[in-house]
Structure 1
Amino acid sequence: MKSSFQIEINQGSLKTFFPEERIKDKYKIIEILLEACRTLLYSPKAEKIRAKTKIIVNIDKMNRLFFVSELKIYSIAFPFNISYDENNTSISYKNIIDIDSLAITNVLSIIKNPIFNSEHCLESVEPIIDIEAEHKINYWTLIRELILLEDGYIRYDKDEKGYQAALEKMQQHRHPLNHIDIFYTNHVSFKLGLEKEYLEADLIDTLDSNTDCKYLKIAVDSSSASKKTKRK
């Protein structure tokens, strides 16, 4: 079912969705995704809102959440089924497990349990076994899906502080004022510089496979071009 709506991020949830530390692992992505589901369950929805901080839900061929603030916009995949009307919202995983407040709390307690991150596999399953035994729900199926999820993380930044620091070192093209970060771990992340500020509509359009593709403009190095001409 095609769907698009927006909800406001209140002040109490800002640090959850826009943490001070950089997002750098899958567990943080899972936490943000599940807390976003909790917000979706209980917040009023509108086709468009004027709030400066908000979540945009886009369900179509592209199933994504967009988290919007004044200087940052990022997006992750939304792997769940969602249905809603004026009085009720429901979210589920493949219509098998309800993603309700209890499920969200239980899954987060599992992945944040130090034992779950044990180097020994038999120890790491203990938090799952304990909660599944108490609630008679197969949480492992959901947790496995979230861990294996291709989360599709992408972020737009208007980073004046980082740009000025790079400019002082004459390295402004390594950290442009407006840029997109692809992926989140250090060994694979990279930036794409932008010539102007990006709006949420721009990022949504860039990621929407139902709209025309964007093209990268490749700058030609004049010195390299000159050398190639001489070789001919």
Structure 2
Amino acid sequence: MEQVFYFDLNDRELLFYKYKQEIEDMIIRNKNHVAKFLIRIVKLILFYPNKIKEGVCNEEGTLQIFIKDRIKRVFYVSSSKITSVCFPFYIATDRKKYIIKYLDILIDEQKLICIEKLINDGNLFDKMRINGEILDLQIEIESALEDIVGEFHLQDRVVKEVMRLYLELLILEDGYIRFEEDETREHPKIHPRFHFDIFYTNGATFKLGASNKTTLSSFLDLLNLKTECFYLQK
């Protein structure tokens, strides 16, 4: 099913301004950051369906969800950057209400609260290794959820789905790519003013220079397997 829509985070409602600042200020450096980014977007879709606008928007301050032509991605467009990661969720509509699933897991408010707690408590993925020992991540997750399980009287099934969802987000092939215009640190050969950053960790990231500023529409064309391929030229 095709899903092409966006949120205008320039909306004057205070909550949307908060979301815009959180997303614009976010620096993605690890899987936990990617999970946080995705969960914020899921919350917007579930809680503010009346703010969804159809189509593609190239304007600054828009959050674009694009599920079409084998692309499943989310894009955030700011004044100098377009940041994109894979969007692994399934979206359906029922009487103007949006339903979101990850595989067979239905995403609801309880699960979102639990996932956010796990994300905000720190990157549990980093706790898998301490002093050379591999820890039981399930025990770590259960411990982090202990308070919230009692507060919401969560069933075992829900707890297991939350753990599975969190682990899936940590091992997700997120497909991070960012276009950036960086005039401040511009260097014609080392750090081009216009460039794409591929991956986000220091050991893996690299840049591809571009001759001019790109738009979201051009970015989508670049990533679309059904349109003509782009070529690198030196």
Shared fold, TM over 0.5: yes
| 1:115/1:124 contact within 8 Å kept | no
In 2, Cα distance between the equivalents of 1:201 and 1:50?
7
**Which of 157, 167, 170 in structure 2 is aligned with 1:147?**
170
- The ranges of structure 1 where at least 4 consecutive aligned residues each deviate by more than 3 angstroms after the TM superposition are 48-51, 114-120, 128-134
The correspondence of residues 6-155 of structure 1 with structure 2, limited to 5 A, is 6-9=6-9, 10-19=16-25, 22-41=27-46, 42=48, 43-49=51-57, 51-60=59-68, 61-84=70-93, 87-94=96-103, 96-114=104-122, 116=124, 118=127, 119=130, 120-121=135-136, 124-125=140-141, 126-128=143-145, 131=148, 134-136=153-155, 137=158, 138-155=161-178
Q: What displacement does 1:156 show?
A: 0.2
Q: What displacement does 1:52 show?
A: 2.1
Q: 2:184 maps to what in 1?
A: 161
In 1, Cα distance between the equivalents of 2:122 and 2:76?
28
Q: What displacement does 1:13 show?
A: 1.2
In 2, Cα distance between the equivalents of 1:210 and 1:144?
31
Per the alignment, in what secondary structure is the counterpart of residue 33 of structure 2? helix
In 1, Cα distance between the equivalents of 2:89 and 2:38?
10
| 1:115/1:127 contact within 8 Å kept | no
Q: What displacement does 1:129 show?
A: 5.8
Q: What displacement does 1:132 show?
A: 5.5
Bigger relative contact order (CA 8 A; separation at least 6): 2
| 1:77/1:150 contact within 8 Å kept | yes
Give the TM-score normalised by structure 1.
Answer: 0.81
Residues 196 and 51 of structure 1: is their aligned pair in 2 closer, same or farther, counting only changes over 3 Å?
Answer: closer
| 1:132/1:139 contact within 8 Å kept | no
Q: What displacement does 1:99 show?
A: 1.9
Q: Which runs of 5+ in 1 are unaligned?
A: 167-171, 220-232
Q: What displacement does 1:47 show?
A: 1.9
Q: What displacement does 1:103 show?
A: 1.7
Per the alignment, in what secondary structure is the counterpart of residue 191 of structure 1? strand
Q: For the aligned residues, what is the CA RMSD?
A: 2.2
Higher strand share: 2
Q: Which letter does structure 1 place at the counterpart of 2:116?
A: L
Q: 1:175 maps to what in 2?
A: 191
Say whether 1:209 aligns with 2:216. Answer: no
Q: What do the CA deviations read for 1:113-164 (whole angstroms, capped 9, x no partner)? A: 259454443652322466567322021111111111000000000111121x
Residues 190 and 173 of structure 1: is their aligned pair in 2 closer, same or farther, counting only changes over 3 Å?
Answer: same
Per the alignment, in what secondary structure is the counterpart of residue 102 of structure 1? helix
Residues 115 and 40 of structure 1: is their aligned pair in 2 closer, same or farther, counting only changes over 3 Å?
Answer: closer
Q: What displacement does 1:102 show?
A: 2.7
In 1, Cα distance between the equivalents of 2:172 and 2:144?
21
Between the aligned residues of both structures, percent identity stands at: 29
